[in-house]
Amino acid sequence: MDRLVFCLTSATVPSWAARAVERLDLVLIDHAHCEMKAASSALALAGRAVWAPSIVRPLVALAQEELAHFEQVLAELERRGLELGAPPVDDYAAALLRNVKGPKGGRERMVDRLLAGALIEARSCERFKLLAEALQARGEHDSAAFFVGFMASEARHYGVLRQLALDVGEDEAKTLARFAELAEVEGAINESLGAGPAIHG
Ligand SMILES: [Fe+2]
Ligand SMILES: [Fe+2]
């Protein structure tokens, strides 16, 4: 199976999946928070897209889907007797979002936020795939199937956010060039963080 999905410029270290399956409790708690953050970030972007009304509905639909994912992971936590607790530190997303450029409320910033969101979805997709494979190898078929479902959704969300960035960007070539730049940044962040038992490690 391909190690890299979509636009990603670096692969997750192989030790990540082994560590993640050992601490699936921590991964699931982090996963729940990631889904909640994905929902609130899609809603926040919808609220800032006053000059791009065509992207409001797709962002609200995305937020609704991410909220449904949150409820699904929350149900899994409850089934396992785990508590949601406070959000774990997310150095990965914080580092990536520090690279978003442009004045608040402007087109450049919206394009960057959408592209950063697409990269986060792509990374989540890659990691859900690794997790599903590791769980499958241990004979934990139900848990593997749980993550396969999320993997497929994140792949679709990657496409949605990338397309919305192209829709609001001034120039397709410029947006794609910026995407390539941010993908390099994301790849470096992925390599510098690494292997902790969290969705983005
Ligand atoms: Fe999701
Ligand atoms: Fe997503």
Q: Please report the pLDDT score of residue 46 as a whole number.
A: 96
**Containing structural domain, residue 127:** 19-82+108-192
Ligand 2 geometric centre to CA of 87 (Å) = 17
| Residue appearing with tokens 């409820």 | 71
Residue 197 lies in a domain: no
Ligand 2 geometric centre to CA of 63 (Å) = 9
Ligand 2 geometric centre to CA of 38 (Å) = 6
Residue 95 lies in a domain: no
Ligand 1 geometric centre to CA of 21 (Å) = 19
Residue 181 lies in a domain: yes
Residue 65 lies in a domain: yes
Ligand 2 geometric centre to CA of 69 (Å) = 8
Q: Please report the pLDDT score of residue 195 as a whole number.
A: 79
Ligand 2 geometric centre to CA of 140 (Å) = 24
Output the domain CATH number for residue 36.
1.20.1260.10
Ligand nearest to the CA of 36: 1
What is the largest distance, in Å, between two alpha-carbon atoms of the chain?
50
Listing DSSP states for 122-184 in one string gives HHHHHHHHHHHHHHHHTT-HHHHHHHHHHHHHHHHHHHHHHHHHHHHSS-HHHHHHHHHHHHH
Neighbours of 78 (CB within 10 A): 11
Residue 37 lies in a domain: yes
Domain count for the chain? 1
Check: CB of residue 153 under 8 Å from CB of residue 62: no
Ligand 2 geometric centre to CA of 60 (Å) = 12
Ligand 2 geometric centre to CA of 66 (Å) = 6
Residue 98 lies in a domain: no
Chain centroid to CA 50: 24
Ligand 1 geometric centre to CA of 65 (Å) = 7
Go through 14-31 and write b for each residue having 16 or more CB atoms within 10 A of its CB, e for each that does not.
eebbebbbeebebbbbbb
Residue 200 lies in a domain: no
Tens-level pLDDT at each residue, the chain (201 residues): 345 667 899 999 989 999 999 999 999 999 999 999 999 999 999 999 989 999 999 999 999 999 999 999 999 999 999 999 998 888 999 999 999 999 988 999 999 999 999 999 999 999 999 999 999 999 999 999 999 999 999 999 999 999 999 999 999 999 999 999 999 999 999 999 867 899 987
Ligand 1 geometric centre to CA of 181 (Å) = 24
Write the single-letter amino acid at 10.
S
